Chain A
């Protein structure tokens, strides 16, 4: 295996660079700091139809409002992603938590449902639980879901040309938890390279 030459300082530097590009792109990554440790944060919302809500048994009101759009009922999930440099694995690790629009955290059994459509659930549920665990966040010390880091080192070592290993990491691991990277990040580095060659 190719050895990867990055440490926490490199992570911090690349995280700041990543955050700067994000700001330029009006993407919403933020850089948080706690006790000298920094990590990247992004919040995202997704909507899912056909999740039946458990109802209270009272109080329904009907108001006929011709000026209101009759929307299809949906459940909104807020997901918060963190990219943290893991102290023991020494690689970036993707943590996340999710809650539904009533403020309840998504529990371990349901976490797959927010990442795959119902019809795909049977097929992918097992796969998702192959990679997702629940563990304490190494900086916040609160329970978070994590994408298990055991192969990250190996995977990242296949991209020795990477300009920013955090970007490479997120491009590879993000999509499995509905985290898509804007094209602008790659473009930023490509343009930077073109400029350097002129």
Chain B
């Protein structure tokens, strides 16, 4: 006998299938509810190409009958599914294990384990199902006596070293003919004839068990789920032998670990030689092991979060992102989807453009989209404004609220809010009765802009874009303006504010003029009059914007694609834009530097009459009434006091920017009128 080398077993490792959790949740909700009854459940293990001593649990674990098949063996156990995380945390784990261990001893002594050897592979599962978050806290225990220690007698041998090929071949057939309950644990003689436990051992007169048995030529066999050292199930088999066969105490015995490989080979099977201890007759098996270790090797409970498959909201989110991920993997490995996901977008206006932009943003994976609009959904809206339905108009819902609700209906994981707010405008005087409300509105708008990354200006008038343009520039946000004419549209990104330092010079390309991102103009830079009340002087049909109906979808789509291109550019908001200096050279457009998604124009002007786009780029205008230093400084120094002066008289803007000098200049820019119709 080698010097007292303790024989070691490989611990069971649980493998839980997703449908186990489905079934557990279903039972909890529909059957047990608030009861905490012990349930009998089963697990299975295999000795076919076995590795890692695994034990499987799936939805059939809750069946009353164990579903076993060739090479698949049952284990029996108890599920304790608790109602609260506190009881899960606080229940006495050691005492639970001891109870399970004592039950095992009872089952051995009363003959249950002889009749059904699968009872030796016993387990306990403690769990708490947090069905709001789809978190399953769980801990398996595989009880085994800590007190019973056996020793290696001599080195193990492969089955082929002990038995003839003929005997092994017959052995395979004999095992196959057994019920797996019996073939889990049995005895074989020197020619590998099978003897069932219940035929060899009695639980009544234990002293006479195995009296005539030649220990050197008989083998205690078990189907082994482990590939090198013996699996955990052997440990309780040894306990059974110790308890029921006193004659074995202090003796060396042969253990045959039966392991199947493909092609019905038993070549991986091994014979182990072990020595059993001999304790005093009144020795009690009192201490038990073991709770399962987690995948970091610590003996502690585990948690399985199943929300990705059990929570339909998470599932929808996942599949919404899937196409984007495939695009990334297949076509654009450098595509940064995270930046898209984290951008907070604020849409000024929830009309045709606002709805169209929101939908395109969602399809690109933007997950934070909010609206500011003061209007209600009217009956003329739903056919053009893709987030609204007849019912919204019938109920006279606020557009911003209805749009946000609809986004959540489309994809519940989106964050979206609708704010009913009037955007104060130059030349729309504030009287005493509205003053307090306006102050609050301005504060809210300022806070929302501070909290956003991207602003879309898609309101139905030019002057309502003034305040968000100023604030967007002041706080250094990405601002995209979109406006519609009858058959034309404009999409423009505003230049970065001066605070975006840009030292390096852009590369010079012949025939092209480059404007760095922080020198690009805003929507108002091209316009040399202050925004007055543009609606006041319009005829009725001009107040309702008359556009070719699908123009807005084109413009909305281009707005979002322009934003995405910009976000993917390494310089982000500071990405430069180019324009052609010399009209004669025609190929020069092709030499505009591209980023991952192509060129990033300053603006796109499209004309449906010719189905064409042009891409003008213009510089910041030093006297701009929305983004020039004059204006930004006034705002910085006088804040709302300045804003209110402008609301009360738009001419104040011309004064501070010295625009009065340009009084004679005419407005020769296309009067991009605007989106939307009825709320104006």
User: Are B309 and A129 within 8 A (Cβ)?
Assistant: no
User: Are B21 and A28 within 8 A (Cβ)?
Assistant: no
CB distance from B365 to the nearest CB of A (A): 14
Residue of B nearest to A99 (CB): B18
Choice from A62, A67, A104, A130 contacting B306 with Cβ under 8 Å: A104
Choice from B16, B48, B295 contacting A73 with Cβ under 8 Å: B295
Residue of A nearest to B288 (CB): A63
**When chains A and B are docked, how far (Å) is the Cα of A76 from the Cα of B94?**
27
For residue B65, CB closer than 8 A to chain A, the reply is: no
Q: Which residues of A contact B229 (CB under 8 A)?
A: 69
| 23 interchain pairs, CB-CB under 8 A | A45-B51, A51-B295, A53-B296, A55-B296, A56-B300, A56-B302, A56-B303, A58-B300, A59-B139, A60-B299, A61-B93, A63-B146, A66-B8, A68-B8, A69-B9, A73-B295, A76-B15, A76-B52, A101-B15, A103-B16, A104-B304, A108-B318, A130-B329
CB distance from A21 to the nearest CB of B (A): 11
User: Are B304 and A184 within 8 A (Cβ)?
Assistant: no
**Sorted from nearest, which 6 A-B pairs have the closest CB atoms?**
A129-B329, A73-B297, A53-B295, A103-B16, A102-B304, A60-B300
**When chains A and B are docked, how far (Å) is the Cα of A182 from the Cα of B89?**
47
**When chains A and B are docked, how far (Å) is the Cα of A45 from the Cα of B146?**
30
**When chains A and B are docked, how far (Å) is the Cα of A25 from the Cα of B264?**
7
Choice from A75, A126, A130, A184 contacting B295 with Cβ under 8 Å: A75
User: Are A104 and B305 within 8 A (Cβ)?
Assistant: yes
Q: Which residues of A contact B7 (CB under 8 A)?
A: 67
User: Are B18 and A105 within 8 A (Cβ)?
Assistant: yes
Question: Which of A10-35 touch B at CB < 8 Å?
Answer: 25-28
Residue of A nearest to B328 (CB): A129
Q: Which residues of B contact A99 (CB under 8 A)?
A: 17-18
User: Are B8 and A67 within 8 A (Cβ)?
Assistant: yes
User: Are B306 and A103 within 8 A (Cβ)?
Assistant: yes
Q: Which residues of A contact B146 (CB under 8 A)?
A: 63, 65, 67
Q: Which residues of B contact A66 (CB under 8 A)?
A: 6, 8, 149
Q: A53-B296, A63-B299, A69-B10 are known contacts. Are A58 and B319 too (CB-CB below 8 A)?
A: no
User: Are B52 and A47 within 8 A (Cβ)?
Assistant: yes
Q: Which residues of B are interface residues toward A (Cβ below 8 A)?
A: 6-11, 13-18, 20-21, 48, 51-52, 54, 89, 93-94, 136-137, 139, 144, 146, 149-150, 229, 235, 260-264, 289-291, 293-306, 308-309, 318-319, 322, 325-326, 329-330, 333
User: Are B262 and A25 within 8 A (Cβ)?
Assistant: yes
Q: Which residues of A contact B302 (CB under 8 A)?
A: 53, 56, 102
**When chains A and B are docked, how far (Å) is the Cα of A186 from the Cα of B158?**
29
Q: Which residues of B contact A78 (CB under 8 A)?
A: 15, 17
**When chains A and B are docked, how far (Å) is the Cα of A52 from the Cα of B85?**
23
CB distance from B427 to the nearest CB of A (A): 53
For residue A87, CB closer than 8 A to chain B, the reply is: no
Most buried by A among B21, B93, B261, B300: B300
For residue A171, CB closer than 8 A to chain B, the reply is: no
| Chain B, interface SS category | mixed
Tally of A-B Cβ pairs under 8 angstroms? 150
For residue A5, CB closer than 8 A to chain B, the reply is: no
Choice from A74, A75, A103, A182 contacting B262 with Cβ under 8 Å: A182
**When chains A and B are docked, how far (Å) is the Cα of A101 from the Cα of B306?**
12
Q: Which residues of A contact B149 (CB under 8 A)?
A: 66-67
User: Are B289 and A104 within 8 A (Cβ)?
Assistant: no
For residue A164, CB closer than 8 A to chain B, the reply is: no
User: Are A68 and B11 within 8 A (Cβ)?
Assistant: yes
6 additional A-B pairs beyond A62-B299, A103-B136, beta carbons within 8 Å, are: A45-B52, A45-B54, A54-B303, A59-B89, A105-B18, A129-B329
For residue A176, CB closer than 8 A to chain B, the reply is: no
Residue of B nearest to A52 (CB): B296
Residue of B nearest to A112 (CB): B329
Q: Which residues of B contact A105 (CB under 8 A)?
A: 18, 308-309
Q: Which residues of B contact A102 (CB under 8 A)?
A: 16, 302-304
Q: CB-CB contacts of A123-143 with B at 8 A, as 1s and 0s? A: 000100110011000000001
User: Are A126 and B329 within 8 A (Cβ)?
Assistant: yes
Q: Which residues of A contact B94 (CB under 8 A)?
A: 61
Q: Which residues of B contact A67 (CB under 8 A)?
A: 6-9, 144, 146, 149-150, 235
Q: A53-B295, A53-B296, A60-B300 are known contacts. Are A65 and B289 too (CB-CB below 8 A)?
A: yes
